[in-house]
Amino acid sequence: MTTVSETSPNVQTSVACPFCGILCDDLEISTGPSGLKVTKNGCSKAVAGFERQVSDAVPMIQGKPATLPEALREATRILSAARLPMYGGLGTDVDGIRAVMALADKSGGVVDHALSEGQYRNFKVLQSQGWFMTTLTEARNRADLFVVVGSDLHQLHPRFFERIVNPTVSMLSETPAKRTVVFLGNGLDTSGVSGTGIGDVITIPCALERVSEVLSALKAELKGAPLPGGEHAGVKADTITDLANRCRKAAYGVMVWAPPSLAFPNAELTVGLVSELVKEINVTSRFACLSLGGNEGAVSAGAVCSWQSGYPLRVSFASGKPDYDPLRYVIPKMLATGEGDALLWISSFTPDLGPPATTIPTIVLGTPGVKITGTPAVFIPVGTPGADHAGRIVRCDNVVTLPLRNLGRSTLPKVADLLAAIELAL
CATH number at residue 349: 3.40.50.740
Question: What's the domain count of the chain?
Answer: 3
Of 268, 293, 318, the residue that ends a domain is 293
> Are 75 and 150 in the same domain?
no
Q: Which of 425, 408, 328 is nearest to 80 (CA)?
A: 425
Residue 170 confidence (pLDDT) above 90: no
Of 270, 293, 316, the residue that ends a domain is 293
Residue 4 confidence (pLDDT) above 60: no
In a domain, 1, yes or no: no
> Are 373 and 242 in the same domain?
no
In a domain, 163, yes or no: yes
pLDDT of residue 55: 82
- Tens digit of each residue's pLDDT (9 = 90 or more) over 12-62: 999 999 999 999 999 999 998 889 999 999 999 999 999 999 988 999 999
> Are 139 and 173 in the same domain?
yes
Q: What is the mean pLDDT of residues 171-179?
A: 78
> Are 234 and 193 in the same domain?
yes
> Are 279 and 414 in the same domain?
no
Residue 146 confidence (pLDDT) above 60: yes
- Whole-number mean pLDDT of the chain? 93
pLDDT of residue 1: 37
In a domain, 5, yes or no: no
- Burial category of 209 from C-beta neighbours within 10 Å (exposed 0-12, middle 13-18, buried 19 and up): middle
> Are 94 and 204 in the same domain?
no
Of 276, 293, 310, the residue that ends a domain is 293
- Tens digit of each residue's pLDDT (9 = 90 or more) over 203-224: 999 999 999 999 999 999 998 8
In a domain, 144, yes or no: yes
- pLDDT grade for 3, boundaries at 50, 70 and 90: very low
In a domain, 3, yes or no: no
Task: Identify which has the larger pLDDT, 283 or 185.
Answer: 185
Q: What is the mean pLDDT of residues 321-343?
A: 96
Task: Identify which has the larger pLDDT, 40 or 173.
Answer: 40
> Are 142 and 218 in the same domain?
yes
In a domain, 31, yes or no: yes
CATH number at residue 239: 3.40.228.10
Task: Identify which has the larger pLDDT, 56 or 337.
Answer: 337
pLDDT of residue 9: 65
pLDDT of residue 108: 97
Residue 375 confidence (pLDDT) above 50: yes
- Tens digit of each residue's pLDDT (9 = 90 or more) over 69-115: 999 999 999 999 999 999 999 999 999 999 999 999 999 999 999 99
> Are 197 and 274 in the same domain?
yes
> Are 336 and 400 in the same domain?
yes
- pLDDT grade for 136, boundaries at 50, 70 and 90: very high
- Tens digit of each residue's pLDDT (9 = 90 or more) over 236-247: 999 999 999 999
> Are 174 and 272 in the same domain?
yes
In a domain, 120, yes or no: no
> Are 150 and 248 in the same domain?
yes
Residue 32 domain boundaries: 10-49
In a domain, 2, yes or no: no
> Are 70 and 143 in the same domain?
no
